[in-house]
Amino acid sequence: MTKICSVILAAGSSRRLGFNKLTLKIDSETVILRSVRPFVDAHLGSVIVVAGPDLKLIAQELNSLPVTVVYNEDHITGMSSSIVAALPWIREAEAVFFHLGDKPFIGTGLLSEMVEAYRAEGANIILPVCRREKGHPVLMRVAPYIEEMTGLHGDKGLREVIEKHKEDVLFIETDEGALFDIDTADDIRSLTERGYTVEKGES
């Protein structure tokens, strides 16, 4: 079977909400747990979670899942450093999912659809879109881009790689779960308006 690994980027240290947004609970489950679990449930390859200053907290929240939590010592330099920190764990993979730890509404159905498209269409990059807006996760074949990923820096992450190789991208239409993330108090309010029970996370 094709070896497809998953990398969840969770090294951000933003406290604009007054606490670590990844520990916000939605219907009794933390954002980081909801973001990571679908990749475990998809029964693909290994799941790597890249954490920063809240490594212990993130590891504690995920201790029920068979994942590897790694520390990004350069987290302060931006998201790209988290991708670079994950590379030793994915070099032998054929393809890798990249996801963000604050996007808790991704389901295994989308992951299966993306893997199916990857295998059937032979595209090197699979990207979900909703209302013409690009979302997450991104599924990428490793070999064509590993050297470029090694040289990433700053906070652009994979955007510059994807922009450079637009002809390699296959878009998959999906729902707004691929777009929704937790950044502001308004995002939290929108959850309660949709009927979710939300509890403040840990500092």
140 and 93 Cβ atoms separated by less than 8 Å:
no
- The second-level CATH assignment, the architecture, of 4-194 is Alpha-Beta Complex (3.90)
Q: How far apart are CA 5 and CA 31, in angstroms?
A: 21
Residue found under tokens 């450093």: 81
Q: How far apart are CA 86 and CA 69, in angstroms?
A: 10
pTM of the model: 0.94
Residue 143 pLDDT > 70, yes or no? yes
Identify the pLDDT of residue 13: 59
Residue 146 pLDDT > 80, yes or no? yes
Residue positions counted in the chain: 203
Residue 144 pLDDT > 90, yes or no? yes
